[in-house]
Amino acid sequence: MATGFFRTTIATRHNKQYYKYQIRNRLVNKEIIAKDIMDLKNKVESYGFLWGIINENEAEKHSGKYKLKALQGKYGIQIGD
């Protein structure tokens, strides 16, 4: 299921939902998972991968307790003040 965040989907494992960032190409084959969207953002950026909002409406639905401005990255849509 799309979340509005770059390369991020919602997956279910053992009846629990989590966020999954997945990158697969010739050089990198990596999957990063987290229960919290902010934790996922921080993990993705710590690896040096691109993070950002690609669909503002979907991202708003999955932002949880965080404001979109806090969840934006260097890639994609930039949220104003």
Q: Confidence band (pLDDT; 50, 70, 90) for 1?
A: confident
Q: Which domain holds residue 53?
A: 8-65
> Tell me: the pLDDT tens digits for 34-71?
999 999 999 999 999 999 999 999 999 999 999 999 99
Average pLDDT over residues 71-76: 93
User: Is 28 within a domain?
Assistant: yes
**Buried b / exposed e across 17-50, counting CB within 10 Å, b at 16+?**
ebbbbebeeeeeeeebebeebeebbebbeeeebe
User: Is 81 within a domain?
Assistant: no
pTM: predicted TM-score of the whole model, two decimal places: 0.91
Q: How many domains does the chain have?
A: 1
User: Is 3 within a domain?
Assistant: no
